[in-house]
Amino acid sequence: MNIQLAKYHGLGNDFLVLVDTEGGVDPGPDVVAALCDRHRGVGADGLLRLVPPRRGGAFAMELRNADGGVAETSGNGLRCAALAAVHAGLAPRGDLVVETAAGDAAAHVSRDSAAGAAQVRVSMGELSVGEEIAATELLAATGSGATVVATGGAPRPAGSLGGLVARRVGVGNPHVVIYAPAVAGGAAGASATPVRSLDVATVGPAVEAGTVGGVNVEVVDVVDGALSLAVWERGVGVTLACGSGSCAAAAAMRAAGLAGDRVLVVNPGGALFVELSGPPAHPSAVLTGPAQRIAAVTVDLADLDLADLAPTVSGGLAAPHAAVRT
C-alpha cells in the first residue's frame, strides 16, 4: 500500500503530514514510529494526520509523536498543519480554524515568503500555570538513583538542581518549565546549578520518569531580554524547537515576573514570538513563527520492515531522539 506524505518543519521541528480527506487512512503507532525513524524510515519528530473536520473547522489535526504515541497538540505542528492544509487546498490562505484534541485553534497563514515557507500565527488557547516549586521536587518520584548531568561534567545526584525552580504548565499538553528564581528587581537570580549548564537530554527523561503519562520539559534562561530555551519533548526526545513549550516557558516566566506579555523565545532552531494576555495563572497565548514545506514523499508501507524495526518501535528512537514513554 502506498501513502503520500509531505514533510514540513517549524524551526527544525519536523513532521510528516498525511492528508487523509476521507478520514480512513490511520497508519497506527508502529507504522508511525517506523516512518519517523531517523535511520530506517523517512525521519521526523512526529506525524500529522489531517482529516475532515468534526466541529466546523477547516480540518482536524491528529498528532502522533515519533514513538507512535498520541499527543494532544503542538505549536509547531499546528503551524505546519495549517500551511500544509493551504498547500493541499483544504483551506484558503489567511484565516482558518484547526480542530485538535486540545480544542479548536484559530490560525492565520501569510503569503509564502520563500519556496514552500510562510509565517503562521496560531492561537494556543488558555494555559494553566502552576505554582512555583523547587526543581528538586520534580525528581522525588524517580527515587534516589535519579541523576542530572551538567554540560562537560560527570553524572551527579539529583540535588544538583538545587537553587532552581519549576512550574507545571498546561498548554493542551503537559509541560514542566525549569528556571532560576527571580530576585529583587525582577531579574533571574544565581543558583547552585546555572540553568544554561544543564543537559536537557538528561534532565528531561529524569523529570519525565516521575510524571504519569509523560511530560515535555523546558530548561529556560533569560539572555539579553529574550528567553533561551532547550527542550525535551515527550515521545520524541531533544528537538530543535517546541511551539507549545515556548508558550509554556513564556507563561511560566511571566508568572515569575521574569517576562512580559510579548516574549521572544529563542529555540535551538530559531526564534518564536509569544503574545500573552489575561491573568498569570490562566493566560491566553498566541504563537507566531515560520513553517516550511520540505518535500513530498511516497512510501510503500511494504518497504517498512516492521519486524526489523521492532526494537526501535518498542523502545524509542535512537539517540539523540531517544524517548521511552513511562
2-126+292-315 and 128-282 agree in CATH topology: yes
Cell of 81: 498543519
> Based on the number of CB atoms within 10 Å of its own CB, is 24 exposed (0-12), middle (13-18) or buried (19 or more)?
exposed
> Where is average pLDDT lowest: 146-155, 262-271, 285-294?
146-155
Summarised one tens digit per residue, pLDDT across range 18-37 is 999 988 898 999 999 999 99
Q: What is the pLDDT of residues 97-121, one digit of tens each?
A: 999 999 999 999 998 877 789 999 9
70-71 and 59-65 beta bridge pairing: antiparallel
Q: HSE of 202 in the Cβ direction (CA atoms, 13 Å)?
A: 19
Q: pLDDT-derived band of residue 163, with 50, 70 and 90 as boundaries?
A: confident
The pLDDT, as a whole number, for residue 144 is: 37
Mean pLDDT of the chain: 86
Instruction: Return the CATH number of the domain spanning residue range 128-282.
Output: 3.10.310.10
Burial of 295 (0-12, 13-18, 19+ CB in 10 A): exposed
Handedness of CA 305, 45, 170, 61 (dihedral sign): negative
Torsion (CA) 117, 118, 124, 129 in degrees, nearest 10: 70
Q: What percent of the chain has pLDDT over 70?
A: 83
| Beta-strand pair 70-71/2-10 | unpaired
Do residues 9 and 46 lie in contact, with contact meaning Cβ atoms separated by under 8 Å? no
Q: Report pTM.
A: 0.86
Q: 306 or 313, which is more confident?
A: 306
Q: Average pLDDT in the 228-238 region?
A: 95
pLDDT digits (tens, 9 = 90+) for 121-136: 999 999 999 999 999 8
Looking at residue 301, its amino acid is L
Asked which of 34-38, 79-83, 320-324 is least confident by mean pLDDT, the reply is: 320-324
DSSP state of 277: E
- Tens-digit pLDDT profile for residues 185-229: 566 665 545 677 788 998 999 898 888 889 999 999 999 999 999
> What integer pLDDT is reported at residue 315 of this predicted model?
31
Looking at domain 2-126+292-315, which CATH architecture does it have? Roll (3.10)
The residues spanned by each domain of the chain are 2-126+292-315, 128-282
Residue 281 has pLDDT above 70, yes or no: yes
Alpha carbon distance 5, 295 (integer Å): 9
CA distances to 4, 18, 33, 216 from 24, in Å: 14, 11, 19, 30
